[in-house]
Every structure is written in structure tokens, then in C-alpha cells.
Structure 1
Amino acid sequence: MNYPANVFTGKVRDYDGSRPSAIAKLQVDGELTLSELGLAGDEQAEKKIHGGPERALCHYPREHYQHWAREYPAQADLFVAPAFGENLSTDGLTEHNVFIGDIYRWGETLIQVTQPRSPCFKLNYHFGISDMSAQLQNAGKTGWLYRVVLAGNVSAEAPLELASRLSDVSVYDACAIAWHMPFDDDQYRRLLSAAGLSTSWTRTMQKRRISGQIEDNSRRLWGS
């Protein structure tokens, strides 16, 4: 099945009370180059936690915006793509039917799902909602990230098409294992077995198995 996608890129800019971010993106049409580091013209402010080969693209389901608009009717006009800083927006693909390791054909390229997006505190400033990042995480409506398996040219006219499914761990399952369950070594082993899982998530799950503890995510969700 094919999934038409809107495509977005952004430049880094300053935010009052927060650190610089490229979350504010604009829709682009026509042909673009996709390299192993992402779309031509797309920037990331803090490359230690955003971007890089295993986080080259961010995808957010368009249908989630209806949920957030209902939750915040006074701010409903904010909840339209690409408000969550996504590069790709589609209807029909969600955390429930997209799996870790899935490989999609997009134009000349192949892209692979590596992990759920890990929401960070910059979303709180972006929307003016103090716990937006935590709400995204708790709802499992995070979107997901890709690595670029094969670089090349892409365009908004080229749909996403599933080419390979390599695991039985959905993006929603990964969210639940990482953030919603108490310590569960069996579930961490299950997630670690998912082909294509990002190095950062592999490291986190393995650290949990070694330490027997879940790390503190408050800095990511709320800032310093």
C-alpha cells in the first residue's frame, strides 16, 4: 500500500526562554535530495540529540492532530502539520501499524524506522503548554524516526511504500516498553531483538538490563 506524504524542512531559530530549535518547519514541493543525514535544507540545533544517521527523518501521523485539537480547543489552530517538527506527514500510518525496522521505499531512496521520537521539553515552549512533551510520551502519539538505508532523490509526489518488515515490535510497543511499563527484562530483550533499533535505544535498554533500573527522563521532558 502507498502512503502519500507531505514533506517539510526547517532552519534553526531562537526561542524565548528556551534553546534554539529547528522545530518550525515549512512545506516543500518538488524534488529534494535525501542523504544519510536527512533532507537537503533541513537543520537541527542540537545534533547530539537530534538528527544524525539514525535520526535522519522525523515522521508524525497527521491524524493525531485531531486528538490534540480536541484536547486543547482554544489552541486548535496550532495543531496542524508540521507543528511537531516532522519531516513527513501522512494519513494511515500510526505507531500501531508501523514497526521498528520497517523499510519504506520513498522515491529513489530506502528509509528504515529506528525508534519512536523521544519527546523533549522544547515542545512545551513551542506550544505554550507546560507538559506537552510528557503528554505526547504518555499517549504514545510520538511519531518515529528513520535512518536512510539508500540515499537519492525524493519528492512530495512520491508516496511511501512498505518494502520490508523485520520485527514484530510496533512503534507503540516500543513506547510502552520504554516509558509505560515498570522494569521488565523480558520486554527489554524483546525490544533489543528488533532489527533496525537505533544505537541510542539499544544502549538505553541494555543499560537498564545491566543496572536493573530505569533512567530519569525528567531533564528531557522538562528541561533543566
Structure 2
Amino acid sequence: MQILSTNIAKPTTIIFNGQQVITGIYKTPTNQPIYLGKETVEGDEVSDRKHHGGEFKACYLFSENQYPYWKKLYPHLDWDYGMFGENLTVKNLDETQIYIGDIYKIGNALVQITQPREPCFKFGVKFGTQNVLKQFINHGYPGTYTRVLEEGFVKNGDELKLIEKAQNSLTTFQFFNLFFSKEKNQEHLKLAIENEALPISKRKKLKAFLT
């Protein structure tokens, strides 16, 4: 896995249901190293602190491999890296192969895989239709947020080096499917609620589905 693009955003005002909303989803390539901090990427707009940023969503990674799929669905959009609001566009990031809790070295930073992205209305506004939210969920390749264990700079060309493999975990792909499926896989539920790489609030929410 290799970083192809580092992306950050300036605050952008959008209109949703007649209301003005400020968002940081309109990220664009910087062509420069970016600094991964403990709760956010330095210089990047995080407008909604309730749902973005913080310890378990400090940096968002999305796979470059998924771009062709979405370009085919939305060929009329102005495409560039950062389109999905990701800070890092990563070549060969595969949600079926990365596990919640895996620890990677990227540049000077040390990060831990935490949770996949859950699409919101701002994503729909950017793509011109709220239908994209369901398409994103059904497709099943949402990228991943990370916790930053050691702050540092990352740049284009940096490789993601696996430092520590998570034990008794589930993949980002499996977790994403678990979170949105009506019929919850009980074994996956047990793995998720015991995984300290996930925020307590999310683990408590999933615990309610244990039978």
C-alpha cells in the first residue's frame, strides 16, 4: 500500500434542506507532506467535531482502487483525489485485508486502523444525490479512519508498513457489513465489542444486538 495523494480541505458552505452547513468534505490534493496529529490532520478543516476528527477518526484513508468504480457511476463529476473526503488516497488499500486494530507505520507517523467511514448527507450533496449513500453502503468498500499513535509527517510515495497485526479481530469490510446489516453476525459482534481499537460508544451500540 502506498500513498498516492495527501489531501486537505478549506471550510466550504453548502445548502441542505434550506440550511447553510459548513463542511470539510471538499478535500483537494496538496502535493506536500501533511502532519497527522492526535485528533486531526494539521491544516485540514473539520467542521463537525461530533462525527469527524478526534482520537478514533484522526485521519481518513480511501483506496485509489475504488475510484474507477465510482467514476463509471458518476462520470459527470469533476474527479480528483480527495473526492471521498479522504486525507490519504492509498494505492491497493483493501478493506477485506486490513483488520480493525492493525498498526501501520506511514512516513513518520504510527497509526492504528479504527473504523470505516459512514456516509452522511454532505457526501450526498457533493455527489449531487442522496442516493449515493445507499450505493456507498451496498458497495462495501468505505475506506478507514485511523487513530494516530505517534504524530508525524506523511507524503506521497510513502508506504504503509504493517507493524503489528490485530488479534481476534475482523476486517474493515466485515465490520462495515456488520454495522449496516439487519441480520448481525453474532461472532463478528463479539469480536467488535471486545476490540479496543473501536470507540466505546460504537461497541455499546453493537452490544445491544447480541442474542
TM over 0.5: yes
For normalisation by structure 2, the TM-score amounts to 0.89
- Written as runs of structure 1 = structure 2, the 5 A alignment for 1:128-143 is 128-143=128-143
Alignment pair present for 1:6 and 2:5 = yes
C-alpha displacement at 1:79, in angstroms?
4.3
Closer, same or farther: CA 80–203 of 1 in aligned 2, 3 Å: farther
- Written as runs of structure 1 = structure 2, the 5 A alignment for 1:1-224 is 2-17=1-16, 19-73=21-75, 75=76, 77-167=77-167, 168-209=169-210
Q: Report if the CA contact (8 A) 2:65-2:91 is conserved.
A: yes
Closer, same or farther: CA 14–98 of 1 in aligned 2, 3 Å: same
Closer, same or farther: CA 169–133 of 1 in aligned 2, 3 Å: same
C-alpha displacement at 1:157, in angstroms?
4.0
Higher helix share: 1
C-alpha displacement at 1:200, in angstroms?
3.4
- Structure 1: how far apart are the matches of 2:104 and 2:27? 23
Moved over 3 A (4+): 77-80, 183-186
> Which residue number in structure 2 is paired with residue 216 of structure 1?
none
- What amino acid is the match of 1:68? W
Report how many aligned residue pairs link the two structures.
207
Q: Report if the CA contact (8 A) 2:114-2:144 is conserved.
A: yes
For normalisation by structure 1, the TM-score amounts to 0.84
- What amino acid is the match of 1:108? N
Q: Deviations over 1:99-124 (max 9, x none)?
A: 11111101221011111111111111
C-alpha displacement at 1:202, in angstroms?
1.4
> Which residue number in structure 2 is paired with residue 215 of structure 1?
none
Q: Deviations over 1:53-108 (max 9, x none)?
A: 110011111111111122234x2x43442111000111111211111111110122
For structure 1, the 5+ residue unaligned runs are: 213-224
C-alpha displacement at 1:144, in angstroms?
0.9
Q: Report if the CA contact (8 A) 2:35-2:154 is conserved.
A: yes
- What amino acid is the match of 1:166? A
C-alpha displacement at 1:154, in angstroms?
2.5
Q: Report if the CA contact (8 A) 2:7-2:29 is conserved.
A: yes
Q: Report if the CA contact (8 A) 2:112-2:197 is conserved.
A: yes
- Structure 2: how far apart are the matches of 1:61 and 1:86? 9
- Structure 2: how far apart are the matches of 1:170 and 1:183? 15
- Structure 1: how far apart are the matches of 2:78 and 2:204? 35
Q: Report if the CA contact (8 A) 2:3-2:155 is conserved.
A: no
- What amino acid is the match of 2:47? A
